């Protein structure tokens, strides 16, 4: 069988690396499995506190504000440490840094079991956030380098599907252990498997960075640590389709987060459904994501082999469908069963496109700056999507009602996601050409 030329690889796949597994198929899938498992425990340790709150509040008499602060401090820890850690990842080792982060956040989460007051527990949650700060970007960078282009969207989709699995595991298993043995045992016991996976990951293989942007391969490396960082930042800022992918992903997050946050309240307030049943119905959106995200990645991989812009068209179409379905769901005249079905379909449409913009944040970045690009993407999602989303929905709800808020915000943000992706089409091929010749090598 003939080996594809560089030119044919660019045309058929838009690849920024070869169409083979960097560490062999078995080696790549072995490390990938550990990364996915650790991602499950990342989100389990992150969300476990939600299942433990009733027990913690009963023991210490916490207010709702204090309860919410436990989550906010974790997010603050992530935001403060994300960029510094991403720099270490790109300059040292994606695998070793991810492993050490997993050990750190696991120990931090377990330390909450020994907390004697709210302040100590709050400090442990902030440390969990610091440990989780850049695990996902480190994994994104490794996956993008290790997988062939024809499997990249699927790999990123499977990895992303680990998040809702971890959310469900943390809340459900944490609550179960707390009910039978106490909330301290839940924090301690659930941290152990994640720590073991992180230890196993430490000695796995990573890739070696090619020279940074603007430096010839045959030129001896003379740039300092900070010069390399500056080169990667300049490359990101000068890549319009990459910036548009960040913003499009943020708008997709802004479309989805208010739905998940307010749907239990909406179903209870408008349709009189119990909060327990409404919460269970909302969890269906997470289950949809477990199926839809990898499926969308698989579809986009197949389409991208025929046309490198295909995933942008596919993602834009799916975002538009999600916006239309959410708008239809929250228009007047539906009983709750019809409405819930439309919401599930909208969530499926939004989730199936998720790995498209995500893969753009990696393939359009230089291999030595992919963790930095992934961190920029995650921070953009938080700052423009998940952080303001519930507040904006609540603000609109206070003036026009919750139904109108869940009609307006997903429609507007979904439309913006489509516009931003369509705008990226103008620059995508040109921007991809800038990085197509950079090939990571197995370390």
Same domain assignment for residues 424 and 355 = yes
Q: Is residue 151 part of a domain?
A: yes
Same domain assignment for residues 118 and 254 = no
What's the CA gap between 441 and 35, in Å, rounded? 20
- pLDDT per position as a tens digit, 149-177: 888 889 999 999 999 899 888 888 888 89
Whole-number pLDDT of residue 8: 32
Q: Is the dihedral of CA 137, 142, 145, 150 positive or negative?
A: negative
Same domain assignment for residues 243 and 318 = yes
Average pLDDT in the chain = 86
Same domain assignment for residues 200 and 291 = no
- pLDDT per position as a tens digit, 203-214: 999 888 776 665
Same domain assignment for residues 128 and 251 = no
* DSSP secondary structure letters along 295-348: HHHHHHHHHHTT-TTHHHHHHHHHHHHHHHHHHHHTSSS--HHHHHHHHHHHHH
pLDDT at 191 over 90: yes
At 260, which CATH number? Answer: 1.20.1250.20
Which is more confidently placed, 324 or 149? 324
Same domain assignment for residues 176 and 316 = no
Entry pTM = 0.81
Q: Which residues of 227-246 are buried (b: 16+ CB within 10 A; e: fewer)?
A: ebbebbeebbeebbbbbbbb
Q: Is residue 202 part of a domain?
A: yes
Which is more confidently placed, 210 or 319? 319
Whole-number pLDDT of residue 221: 56
Q: Residues of the chain with pLDDT > 70: what percent?
A: 91
Q: Is residue 281 part of a domain?
A: yes
* Residue 343: CB atoms within 10 Å: 28
Q: Is residue 393 part of a domain?
A: yes
Which of the listed ranges 5-9, 26-30, 55-59 does the model predict with the highest average pLDDT? 26-30
Same domain assignment for residues 14 and 120 = yes
Same domain assignment for residues 236 and 109 = no
* DSSP secondary structure letters along 369-395: GHHHHHHHHHHHHIIIIITHHHHHHHH
Q: Is residue 74 part of a domain?
A: yes
pLDDT band at 16; cut points 50, 70, 90: very low
- Comparing C-alpha atoms, which of 135, 128, 133 is closest to residue 97? 135
Which of the listed ranges 62-66, 148-152, 241-245, 252-256 does the model predict with the highest average pLDDT? 241-245
Same domain assignment for residues 302 and 431 = yes
Q: Is residue 216 part of a domain?
A: no
Number of domains in the chain: 2
Q: Which residues of 131-145 are buried (b: 16+ CB within 10 A; e: fewer)?
A: bbbbbbbbbbbbbbb
Same domain assignment for residues 371 and 285 = yes
Read off φ and ψ for residue 436, nearest 5 degrees. Answer: -65, -25
Q: Is residue 225 part of a domain?
A: no
Range of the domain at 124: 6-208
**Angle (nearest 5°) at CA 17 between 13 and 18:** 80
Same domain assignment for residues 265 and 172 = no
Whole-number pLDDT of residue 438: 66
Same domain assignment for residues 269 and 330 = yes
Q: Is residue 333 part of a domain?
A: yes
């Amino acid at each position: 069988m003939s080996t594809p030329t560089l030119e044919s690889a660019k045309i058929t796949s838009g690849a920024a690396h070869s169409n083979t597994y960097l560490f062999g198929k078995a080696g790549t899938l072995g490390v990938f499995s550990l990364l996915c498992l650790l991602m499950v425990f990342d989100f389990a340790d992150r969300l476990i506190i939600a299942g433990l709150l009733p027990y913690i509040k009963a023991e210490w008499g916490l207010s709702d504000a204090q309860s919410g602060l436990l989550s906010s401090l974790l997010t603050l820890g992530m935001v403060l440490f994300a960029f510094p850690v991403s720099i270490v990842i790109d300059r040292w080792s994606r695998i070793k840094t991810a492993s050490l982060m997993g050990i750190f956040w696991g120990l931090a989460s377990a330390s909450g079991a020994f907390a004697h007051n709210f302040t100590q527990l709050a400090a442990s949650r902030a440390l969990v956030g610091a440990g989780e700060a850049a695990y996902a970007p480190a994994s994104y960078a490794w996956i993008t380098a290790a997988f062939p282009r024809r499997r990249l969207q699927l790999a990123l989709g499977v990895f992303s599907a680990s998040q809702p699995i971890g959310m469900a595991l943390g809340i459900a298993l944490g609550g179960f252990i707390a009910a039978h043995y106490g909330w301290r045992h839940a924090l301690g016991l659930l941290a152990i498997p994640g720590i073991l996976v992180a230890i196993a990951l430490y000695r796995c293989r990573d890739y070696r960075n090619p020279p940074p942007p603007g430096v010839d391969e045959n030129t001896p490396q003379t740039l300092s640590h900070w010069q390399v960082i500056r080169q990667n930042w300049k490359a990101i800022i000068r890549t319009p389709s990459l910036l548009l992918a960040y913003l499009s992903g943020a708008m997709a997050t802004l479309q989805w987060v208010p739905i998940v946050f307010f749907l239990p309240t909406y179903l209870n307030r408008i349709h009189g459904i119990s909060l327990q049943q409404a919460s269970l119905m909302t969890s269906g959106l997470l289950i949809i994501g477990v199926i839809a995200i990898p499926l969308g990645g698989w579809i986009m991989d197949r389409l991208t082999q025929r046309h490198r812009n295909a995933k942008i068209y596919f993602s834009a179409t799916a975002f538009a469908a999600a916006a239309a379905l959410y708008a239809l769901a929250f228009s007047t005249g539906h009983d709750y069963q019809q409405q819930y079905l439309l919401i599930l379909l909208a969530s499926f449409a939004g989730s199936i496109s998720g790995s498209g913009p995500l893969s753009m944040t990696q393939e359009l970045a230089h291999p030595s700056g992919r963790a930095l690009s992934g961190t920029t993407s995650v921070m953009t999602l938080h700052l423009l999507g998940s952080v303001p989303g519930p507040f904006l929905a609540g603000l609109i709800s206070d003036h026009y009602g919750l139904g109108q808020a869940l009609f307006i915000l997903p429609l507007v943000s979904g439309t913006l996601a489509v516009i931003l992706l369509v705008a990226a089409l103008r620059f995508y091929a040109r921007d991809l050409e800038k990085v197509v010749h950079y090939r990571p090598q197995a370390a």
